[in-house]
């Protein structure tokens, strides 16, 4: 059986109650915890300050009269027991040097005595496992009808910081987490397992880390919307106090890029009639969302890296640094590794923003989520227009059958789905989307996708129809994929399993080169 060891501090007020023999009639927390018949204590590690040596020896002698509890006195110096830093440091030093023997001893920390700061520090150090202990709380025994005086020993309770023991608290934490995850998904009951796992990870990172977040994925996948949701979640938990500032870096060029992001002084360039603070300073204390960060120029990238790491930067045309403490969320549809290899993006900046990277799947990769998103978009339209719009049963089934099929390419992703729903809802007479409207919308989508795909097959008259059909299928897969590697994995999904080190991207690149094609020419990059 393990020995029971209690660690605590001398209570300069509560442990001093009573004079001479009268002290045995008073509740004294440190003495009382050694009087519990069902909680035998083998050793008490009692911390005291030098000025309280006499009282510490008195308490030690009294405990020695009660039984077999060994008292070990430890002197420590506190100038101010209400100073959090001083108390925490003193207790941490004690924990660091104390020879814990968890194989043979169990430990309790007595939190009743000492200032509130002392109690808080006990809790924090135990929760962080610097003290491998449970918390012990004592209190006076309640008076009863038979006795006018409470029992001097008092009562005790043990607090286990293992929250798994507290099912109600655990369920509460789980509900709070699910509420946060639902908030990030706008309340949409998504069914895609990959996406749900992704949102779960984002929720934890958003509330626990201030490091930059990189959201990748095709245009229209919801990067901007998710970034704003992350900000709102952080704001609701008091993680940020400033604004949410968003900018599409694809719209920034030359002096305008520098000025927009970092600000400028008056006269910094032609047309700079007034000074400008810049978006980085406007995001101070808040969140800065840089959409399409891959489109930033190399000069802007260098300044952004300094601003992220040092929280300081130079406005355009100024020789005086300014500061801004913001949290960065970046978005891009580019393959950033390829962008770095091509010299279009700084490797050091990519390494800095790549700590938390979350690839958002396209709508075509989340076909099981089309139905709940369809309902969401329709409800959003109804709220915005203050008009109730619904599908007929047959019309809804027809639209979903098409939308979830392989025929539906959804190149514009969720943005395109939202536009499709808006068109049908706008044209719906009496608030009902019927089968005729759905057929018209399906035809419109099919026509748009055909127009968006110009003929790219090379003029090779000697090419057999078999090879031409095969090449056309490969090009179609490339167009629906976000990267060369992803397209390769789709095309070589079977044969790649037989290779120890499959290089799908290289195989696809070589295949396209046979016909004078490249990934960039197919994607229009």
Q: What is the pLDDT of residue 404?
A: 92
Q: What is the pLDDT of residue 148?
A: 46
Helix (H), strand (E), coil (C) string for 159-218: ECCCHHHCHHHHHHHHHHHHHHHHHHCCCCCCCCHHHHHHHHHHHHHHHHCCCCEEEECC
Nearest to residue 411, comparing CAs of 216, 218, 217?
218
Q: Do 3-161 and 366-451 have matching folds?
A: no
* pLDDT higher than threshold 90 for residue 163: no
Average pLDDT value for the chain? 86
Regarding beta strands 312-313 and 322-323, do their DSSP bridges make them parallel or antiparallel, or are they unpaired?
Answer: antiparallel
Q: What is the pLDDT of residue 339?
A: 92
- 518 pLDDT band (50/70/90 cuts)? confident
Q: What is the pLDDT of residue 470?
A: 84
* pLDDT higher than threshold 50 for residue 443: yes
Mean pLDDT of 370-393: 90
Q: What is the pLDDT of residue 520?
A: 81
- At residue 288, the 3 state secondary structure works out as strand
Q: What is the pLDDT of residue 423?
A: 94
Range with the lowest mean pLDDT among 156-170, 206-220, 335-349, 465-479? 156-170
pLDDT digits (tens, 9 = 90+) for 128-145: 888 988 999 998 887 664
* pLDDT higher than threshold 80 for residue 12: yes
Which one is predicted more confidently, 351 or 253? 351
pLDDT digits (tens, 9 = 90+) for 303-315: 999 999 999 998 8
Cα separation, 122 vs 310, in Å, equals 35
Residue ranges of the domains in the chain?
A: 3-161, 172-359, 366-451, 465-523
* pLDDT higher than threshold 80 for residue 10: yes
> Where do runs of H (alpha helix) occur along 6-76?
29-32, 53-66
pLDDT digits (tens, 9 = 90+) for 52-74: 999 999 999 888 988 889 999 99
CATH number of 366-451: 1.10.8.60
* pLDDT higher than threshold 50 for residue 364: yes
Q: What is the pLDDT of residue 483?
A: 82
Mean pLDDT of 226-254: 89
Cα separation, 280 vs 304, in Å, equals 9
What pTM was estimated for this model as a whole? 0.62
pLDDT digits (tens, 9 = 90+) for 394-429: 999 999 999 999 888 898 899 999 999 999 999 988
Measured CA angle at 240 (ends 235, 242), to 5 deg: 100
* pLDDT higher than threshold 60 for residue 431: yes
Cα separation, 383 vs 375, in Å, equals 12
Class of domain 3-161: alpha beta
Neighbours of 525 (CB within 10 A): 10
- 190 pLDDT band (50/70/90 cuts)? confident
* pLDDT higher than threshold 70 for residue 268: no
* pLDDT higher than threshold 60 for residue 166: no
CATH architecture of 172-359: 3-Layer(aba) Sandwich (3.40)
Q: What is the pLDDT of residue 145?
A: 43
Mean pLDDT of 480-503: 80
Residue pair 363/218 in contact by the 8 Å Cβ criterion: no
Give whole-number Cα distances, 501 to 494, 495, 505, in Å. 14, 12, 12
Q: What is the pLDDT of residue 48?
A: 93
């Amino acid at each position: 059986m393990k020995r029971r060891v209690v660690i605590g501090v001398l209570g300069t007020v509560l442990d001093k109650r009573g004079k001479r023999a009268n002290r045995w009639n008073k509740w004294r927390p440190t003495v009382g915890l050694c009087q519990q018949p069902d909680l035998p204590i083998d050793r008490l590690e009692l911390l005291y300050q030098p000025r309280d040596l006499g009282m510490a020896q008195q308490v030690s002698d009294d405990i020695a009269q009660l039984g077999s509890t060994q008292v070990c006195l430890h002197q420590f110096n506190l100038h101010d027991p209400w100073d959090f830093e001083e108390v925490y440091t003193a207790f941490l030093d004690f924990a660091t040097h104390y020879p814990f023997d968890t194989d043979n001893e169990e430990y309790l920390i007595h939190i009743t005595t000492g200032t509130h700061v002392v109690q808080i520090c006990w809790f924090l150090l135990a929760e962080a496992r610097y003290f491998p202990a449970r918390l012990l709380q004592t209190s006076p025994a309640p008076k009863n009808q038979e006795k006018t005086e409470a029992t001097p020993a008092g009562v005790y309770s043990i607090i286990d910081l293992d929250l798994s023991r507290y099912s109600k608290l655990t369920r509460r934490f789980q509900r709070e987490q699910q509420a946060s995850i639902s908030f990030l998904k706008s309340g949409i009951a998504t069914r895609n397992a990959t996406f749900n796992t992704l949102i779960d990870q984002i929720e934890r990172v958003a509330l626990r880390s201030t490091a930059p977040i990189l959201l990748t994925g095709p245009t229209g996948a919801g990067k901007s919307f998710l970034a704003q949701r992350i900000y709102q979640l952080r704001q609701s938990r008091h993680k940020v106090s400033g604004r949410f500032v968003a900018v599409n870096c694809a719209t920034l060029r030359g002096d305008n890029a520098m000025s927009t992001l970092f600000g400028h002084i008056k006269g910094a360039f032609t047309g700079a009639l007034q000074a400008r603070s810049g978006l980085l300073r406007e995001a101070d204390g808040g969140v800065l969302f840089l959409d399409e960060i891959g489109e930033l120029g190399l000069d802007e990238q260098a300044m952004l890296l300094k601003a992220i790491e040092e929280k300081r930067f130079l406005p355009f045309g100024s020789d005086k640094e300014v500061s801004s403490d913001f949290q960065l969320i970046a978005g891009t549809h580019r393959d950033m590794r390829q962008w770095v290899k091509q010299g279009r993006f700084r490797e050091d900046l990519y390494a800095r923003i790549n700590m938390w990277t979350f690839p958002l799947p396209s709508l075509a990769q989340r076909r099981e989520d089309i139905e709940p998103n369809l309902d969401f978009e329709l409800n959003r339209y109804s709220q915005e227009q203050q008009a109730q719009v619904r599908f007929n049963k047959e019309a809804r089934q027809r639209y979903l059958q098409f939308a979830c099929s392989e025929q539906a390419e959804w190149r514009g992703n969720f943005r395109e789905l939202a536009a499709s729903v808006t068109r049908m809802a706008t044209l719906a007479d009496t608030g009902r989307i019927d089968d005729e409207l759905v057929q018209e919308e399906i035809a419109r989508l099919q026509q748009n996708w055909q127009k968006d795909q110009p003929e790219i097959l090379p003029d090779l008259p000697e090419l057999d129809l078999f090879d031409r059909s095969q090449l056309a299928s490969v090009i179609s897969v490339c167009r629906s994929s976000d990267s060369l590697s992803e397209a390769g994995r789709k095309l070589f999904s079977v044969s790649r399993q037989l290779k120890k080190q499959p290089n799908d991207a290289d195989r696809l690149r070589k295949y396209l080169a046979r016909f004078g094609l490249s990934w960039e020419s197919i994607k229009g990059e």
